[in-house]
Amino acid sequence: MDKYSDLPTTLTAPAREAAAIVPSDAADLASLPRAMFVGSAGDLAVVMAGGQSAMFRNVAAGSLLPIRVSRVLQTGTTAGDIVGLW
């Protein structure tokens, strides 16, 4: 039973969905996640929801980044086991 199923999903609410992210230099994500989980340490190259490119260097394994991205770039990304949270 989910006592909170009737409440709206907001950016501050816990994520309800998760999916593996495969980095790509050409394809945007189907929808913008509310956060990213990085399972294996490394660098994360992204295109932010606002269109800016960003590099998050030395992201530790197990990090939860509260960023909204339209794309995780293959070039420059050395982090692995990336999961998008919606």
Percent of the chain at pLDDT > 70 equals: 100
- Does a structural domain hold residue 36? yes
Domain count, the chain: 1
Look up the pTM and report it: 0.90
Residues 2, 59: Cα–Cα separation, whole Å: 33
- Does a structural domain hold residue 20? no
- Does a structural domain hold residue 11? no
CB 82 within 8 A of CB 38: yes
Question: Given the structure tokens 């989980």, which residue do they identify?
Answer: 37
What size, in residues, is the chain?
86
CB 67 within 8 A of CB 79: no
- Does a structural domain hold residue 4? no
Q: Which domain holds residue 42?
A: 32-85
At 13, is the pLDDT very low, low, confident or very high (cuts 50, 70, 90)?
confident
Whether 11 has a pLDDT exceeding 80, the answer reads no
- pLDDT digits over 55-83, tens only? 999 999 999 999 999 999 999 999 999 99
